[in-house]
Amino acid sequence: MEHLLTIAILLPLASAFLAFLLPAKKPGAIRALALFATGVSLLLTLYIFSQFDRQDAGYQFVKSIEWLPSLKVNLKFGVDGISMTLLLLVGIVSFCGALVSHEIHDRQKEYYILFLALTTGISGTFCAMDMFFFYFFYEMAVIPMYLLIGMYGSLPAGKHGRTKEYATMKLTLYLTAGAVLALIGLLTMYYAGGKTFDMVELKNNLRLAGSTQKWVFACLLFGFGFLASLFPFHTWSPLGYAAAPTAASMMHAGVLKKLGAYGIIRLALPLLPEGARHWVDLLAILCIFNILYAGLAALTQKDWKFVIGYSSVSHMGYVMLGIATLNVIGVSGAVLLMFAHGVMAALTFSLIGFFYHQTHNRNVPDLSGLARKIPFIGVCMVMAAMASSGLPGFANFASEIMVFIGAWHQGSTVFRIATICAVWGIVVTATYLLWAVRTSFFGPFDEKWNMLKDATTLKQKFPYAFLLAVLLVVGFWPRSLTDIIKPSVQRILATNSHRLAQMEKQ
């Protein structure tokens, strides 16, 4: 029972090793293994979710293995409401990602090994209760991502001579730059917390002067901000997604990106209250840029993946805005939005992958009236676009409205302005998404796309339908997640304010 979580996290990695031993000539077996690993992981996650004690705000299913006594490193996994939500997201997206990976025909063995390693890297980060392993898994995603994009990606030529090699290198460098920046902050916290990597202990022991907190928080904020594509560190993101193969885009935009925001919520907010208070205003301003600027930039894009890429930058602005509010509703909204946007981005990228695989063209103006040939994909795409632009009924709406309320509730002028911009942002989002959907799926049918085939069998439809269903279920009943997110967020913020009070007393 207590090992379940560890198994759910490490199963994909173990399968990657197993796949390494399988002969490359049997891609079918490797694919089956990958599906099995991600599927079982998902089921275990769902089981853990069902057993999750909704009243308890702390970590559950904690399992600690002593790892490196000299540095006091323990392999310690546990989930609280926030991690639980995001672990669920990893399970869902990775399973669907594995499902839609049938489009890969070349070097499948390496592909699935990388994909599985990536999955463990991400879920490990979400559940690590030890800062070392948090960072370990955080960085572990770099290699698989680099190779997945480099080996299996594609970037239509001509866009200012940018190649997939350039894209993947840029992405890797950005993420690493952010990671090492965060590392400096994390290590400072390690020493200030009496040399412990354990997040729980750290919460009790950390002593940092206000002035130090300010720059340590900055390290974490911008360090993690690179991955969360915070303005102006976002430029890797659309390019990287555009170049990535379908499943990698799904994992990256859907899940990996959330690691950045998760890091801030998990480590920076509770432990560095003074720093947080110092930086939130700037963060809110950057969020405005994220939301509006990236949204407007998305308006000018022609490539479907660039549109969605900029859109995801824009959405991360909402997440960061939610975090910046430092109140329960805003931060809970941010967590829920991480989930919602993760599923939505995965859905969108998988849909793009579906038709791109057949058309080898994802330039929006070149496509027209696709809905006639691929109505199922068209319907899903419309729904994804609607979800993305915050339509009620989808999880995104519930989370976005929480972010709005939270940000408005925060009360300062900066946040009021940010909220107004954020609300306007959904108009902008709707503008470019509807344009893209309308241009490529609606309108007169272009005969050159006559060869397109729709998803007809249940097997083909499943990943898309599943992702949509998740969005709808959470959208109709957001409390299925907010009820577990809220206590944990509350706890984190309570730590934050408790520390602040302590510091003011001193």
Partner 1 sequence: MNLYATQLECLLVILGLGTLLTDAFRPGGDRRKLGYLLATLVTITLLYSFTLAPTADTFFHGMYRLDSFALFFKRLFLLATAFVLLMGAEFVERFETGVAEFYALVLLAATGMLVIASVNDFILLFVALELVTITFYILTAFLRRQVQSLEAGTKYLILGALSSGFTVYGIAYIFGTTGTTNFDKLATLLSAGGSGSAFLLGMLLVLTGLGFKVASVPFQIWAPDVYQGAPTPVTAFLAVGSKAAGFALLLRVMLAGLLPVSAVWMPVLLVLAAATLGYGNLGAISQRNIKRLLGYSSIGHAGYMLMGLAAGNALGSQAVLFYLGQYAFTNLCAFLVIIAVGREEIADYAGLGKRSPILGAALFLAMASLAGIPPLSGFFGKFQLFAAVIEAAQTNWHYYILAGIGAGAVVVSLYYYFNVGRAIYIEEAKDTTPIPVSLPVRAGLYVCMLAMIGLGIYQQPLVEAATLAAGIFGLK
Partner 2 sequence: MNPVWIILFAPLCAAAIITLLTRKAQMLSALISCAAIITGFVLTLQLFAQQGNWMSPEPLQWLVVDNIVRIEFGATIDRLSILMLLVVTGVGSAIHIYSLGYMKGDPGFSRFFACLSLFTFSMLGIVLSNNFIQIFIFWELVGVSSYLLIGFWFEKHSAAEAGKKAFLTNRIGDFGMMLGVLLLWTNTGTFNFAELPAKIAAIPSCTLGLIGALIFCGAVGKSAQFPLHVWLPDAMEGPTPVSALIHAATMVAAGVYMLCRVSFVILPSETALTLIAWIGGITALMAATIAIAQNDIKRILAYSTLSQLGYMVMAVGLTGITPAMFHLTTHAFFKALLFLGAGSVIMAMHHEQDIWKMGGLWKKTPITFATFMIGTLALAGVWPLSGFYSKDEILLLALEHNKALFIMGAFTAFLTAYYMGRECFVVFFGKPRDKHAYDHAHESPWVMTLPLVFLAVLSIIGGWGSYIPHFLKPDEHAAHHDAWKGFALLLVPAAGFLLSAKIYLKADASDAPVKAALGRAWTWVENKYYFDELYAWIIRYVQGTIAMLCELFDRWVLQRLGIGGLAGTTSVAGKTLRLLQTGNIQSYAFLFGLGVTVIIYYVVVR
Site mask for partner 2 (CB under 8 A), range 277-316, x = bound:
----------------xx-xx-xxx---------------
Distance of alpha carbon 203 from alpha carbon 155, whole angstroms: 45
> Residue 18, interface with partner 1 (CB under 8 A)?
no
Tokens 């720059």 correspond to what residue? 215
Closest-CA residue to 159 (of 167, 168, 171): 167
Q: Is 110 in the site for partner 1 (CB under 8 A)?
A: yes
* Contact criterion met (CB below 8 Å) for 317 and 422: yes
* Residue selected from 47, 191, 476, 477 as contacting partner 1 according to rule CB under 8 A: 191
Using rule CB under 8 A, residue 112 touches partner 1: no
Contacted by 136, from partner 2, partner 1, none: CB < 5 to 8 Å by type: partner 1
Q: Does 24 bind partner 1 (CB under 8 A)?
A: yes
Pairing relationship of beta strands 60-68 and 73-79 according to DSSP bridges: antiparallel
Which of residues 341, 486, 491, 499 is near partner 2 by CB under 8 A? 486
Is 420 an interacting residue with respect to partner 2 (CB under 8 A)? yes
Q: Indicate which single residue of 37, 57, 93, 140 sits in contact with partner 1 (rule: CB under 8 A).
A: 140
Q: What is the dihedral of CA 135, 127, 124, 342, to 10 degrees?
A: -100
- Buried/exposed code over 157-190 (b: 16+ C-beta within 10 A; e: otherwise): eeeeebebeebbbbbbebbeebbebbbebbbbbb
The pair of three-digit structure tokens given for residue 11, joined into one six-digit string: 């199963």
Select from 52, 67, 136, 445 the one that contacts partner 2 (CB under 8 A). Answer: 445
Rounded (5°) CA angle 413-419-425: 140
Does residue number 67 form part of the binding site for partner 1 (CB under 8 A)? yes
Query: Whole-number minimum distance, CB 184 to partner 1, in Å?
Result: 5
Q: Distance between CA 241 and CA 297 in Å, rounded? A: 15
Q: How far is the CB of 420 from partner 1 (least distance, A)?
A: 37
Is residue 204 exposed (0-12), middle (13-18) or buried (19+ Cβ within 10 Å)?
exposed
Residue 271 interacts with partner 1 (CB under 8 A): yes or no: no
Residue 64 is inside which H or E element, if any?
Answer: strand 60-68
What Å distances lie between residue 392 and 323, 399, 461, CA to CA?
22, 10, 23
Q: Which is nearer to partner 1, 73 or 381 (CB)?
A: 73
Query: According to the binding rule CB under 8 A, does residue 151 interact with partner 1?
Result: yes
Residues contributing to the site for partner 2 (CB under 8 A):
160, 170, 232, 235, 293-294, 296-297, 299-301, 327-329, 332, 369, 371-372, 382, 386, 389-393, 397-398, 401-402, 404-405, 408-409, 411, 419-420, 423-424, 426-427, 430-431, 434-435, 438, 441-445, 477-479, 482, 486, 490
